[in-house]
Structure 1
Amino acid sequence: MSPYEAFQAAIVAANGQTAFGRIIGVSQQRVWNWLQAGKHLPADYVLAAEAGTGISRHLLRPDIYPIPAEAE
């Protein structure tokens, strides 16, 4: 799963862009803008997204949170 797909999965897990925005503390419009631009979730929001949706930080931003070697 790509980081963008993980971002989309987190939105689905939250039951939509509005609910996801509430979880991470931003507006639905901002979430929509990130999606339309094809961006992955900004780093500042990854931990809140993981806590609120159950989608792993390792999937959302593997560039920042790589999977630990012992878990592979």
Structure 2
Amino acid sequence: MEIVGSQASLARACGVTQPAVHRWLNGSRIKADYVMAIVEATNGAVQAHELRPDLPKVFPPPAEHDHVS
């Protein structure tokens, strides 16, 4: 919550109620419809794949870069 200021601020950015954000913070699954709003509200500090790792085809993790020694 430090990133957006408060549950109410995130709720406004996502178009949901503060109790909905409270439920998300306490383990309720975030609907895919709200994932990108959260990413935008946090200026990318929170990534889509972190919020919904169960949907890798919808929100793929960043590609790992091979490091050559």
Q: TM-score, normalised by structure 1?
A: 0.67
- Structure 1 moving runs of 4+ over 3 Å: none
Q: Could you report, residue by residue, the CA deviation over 1:16-53 in whole angstroms, capped at 9, with x for unpaired residues?
A: 100010111111122123334x2232211001111111
- RMSD of aligned C-alpha atoms? 1.6
Question: Larger C-alpha radius of gyration, 1 or 2?
Answer: 2
Task: Report the number of matched residues.
Answer: 59
Question: Is residue 49 of structure 1 aligned with residue 38 of structure 2?
Answer: yes
**Please, which of 12, 19, 40 is the counterpart of residue 22 of structure 1?**
12
Q: What residue number does 1:8 align with?
A: none
| Distance (whole Å) between structure 1 residues aligned to residue 16 and residue 32 of structure 2 | 13
2:60 matched residue in structure 1 = 66
**Structure 1 residue runs without a partner (length 5+):** 1-10
When normalised by structure 2's length, the TM-score is 0.69
Q: Which structure dedicates a bigger proportion of its chain to helix?
A: 1
Gaps of 5+ in 2: 65-69
